[in-house]
Amino acid sequence: MTPPQHGIFAEADEIEFEGDAMRVDSLVSRANEKIEGVAQKTNRFLLAMILPQRAFNFCPSHAIWRASNCNCSAYVISAVTESKPDQLIQFGDHEVVKLRAAARQSGNGAERLEGEQRMDLQLKGKKAIVTGATKGIGLAIAETLAGEGCDIAVCARDGALVETTVADLSTRGVQAHGASADVTDGDSFRQWIEQAAEQLGGLDIMVANVSALAGASDEAAWRAGLETDVLGTVRAVAGGLPFLQKGDCGSIVAIASPAALENFFGVRAYNAIKAAVIAYMSALASTVASQGIRANTVSPGTIYFEGGVWDQRRQEMPKIYEAALAKNPTGHMGKPQDVANAVAFLASPAAKFVNGANLVVDGALTQRVQF
């Protein structure tokens, strides 16, 4: 095939400036290795640094072409079919544009990228609940599942953030619901799960993400961790099981931590609490396997995002931050998307024979042999 002579750009329903990264829904783009910056391909969108004063041409084929009419070494691809011809997206100095494509790609986003086939996670049309999904890891999980075609319901204590998150998820061509809910309030939390499953029309995936982050060692920290991390997960499972049992590919994923696996910052409630979550999920896996339901755990290491724990430590406890950074052989901390990718895989039918696992996502931070 011959690349088109003119730039083509999928008509977008929203264009706005956003920090340092360009998020492109329903468009897949890849930056050449020669470009200085970040080029991280995720499920159905890309976070990438864009060089100043460059224009990208989005081409309508499923092949990757060198961007024409601009003097930069970038490769881009558009997987949409409805396009607006002869239009270029211009990027000024350090300007970044977030595009939400009005023309949604068909299928589940497993398009071929120049000889490469993305795995089909078979998530399109699945129904998912994610707790604590308005920030950081939880938000990345919700966005990733929605990007794979899951209808989704989210909760958190901050109703305003839930509303904003639901509005954003709704732009991805899926059903999105949400409400303010507290996992420590058993009755109301279970009622919300029931309501969310009914709104979604069923439930295939339950992700228990909420944590009290109980880093202290006093009794209050132990109680907070038990109520939020352990019982919050138990309540999420209890509320979701009746709906998961009606499907044929039920999946439960809980978020734990490598702090459960090694001595980490001394005696802390957090370490033992996360160990309890892993033990609970392992026992749950063998209990519900005969019902066609899987239960797995993901243990993120040091994950950095603005406003997160490690951002706070960088500002308030720089020595601890630098020590943690130096301990990781990769030389950097992870991102919420790294965890979200692992969760999406474990939650998906593509991982149908993975059950009772604890997937550590830490860049080799933990030193134990992972038997």
User: Is pTM beyond 0.85 here?
Assistant: no
Domain with CATH 3.40.50.720 in the chain: 127-361
3-class secondary structure, 276 = helix
Please give the average per-residue pLDDT across 88-107, as a whole number: 30
Strand partners, 153: 129, 177
pLDDT band of residue 368 (cuts 50, 70, 90) is confident
Instruction: Work out the mean pLDDT of the chain and round it to a whole number.
Output: 75
The better pLDDT of the pair 27, 246 is held by: 246
Query: Half-sphere exposure of 288 toward its Cβ, with a 13 Å CA cutoff?
Result: 27
321 counts as catalytic:
no
Q: Tell me which of 79-88, 157-166, 301-310, 357-366 is least confident.
A: 79-88
Domain 127-361 architecture: 3-Layer(aba) Sandwich (3.40)
pLDDT recorded at residue 98: 30
Which of the residues 270, 280, 304, 321 is marked catalytic?
270
Is residue 277 within 8 A of residue 256, CB to CB? The reply is yes
Distances (CA, A) of 135 to 58, 196, 198, 315: 31, 20, 25, 19
pLDDT recorded at residue 93: 29
pLDDT band of residue 118 (cuts 50, 70, 90) is low
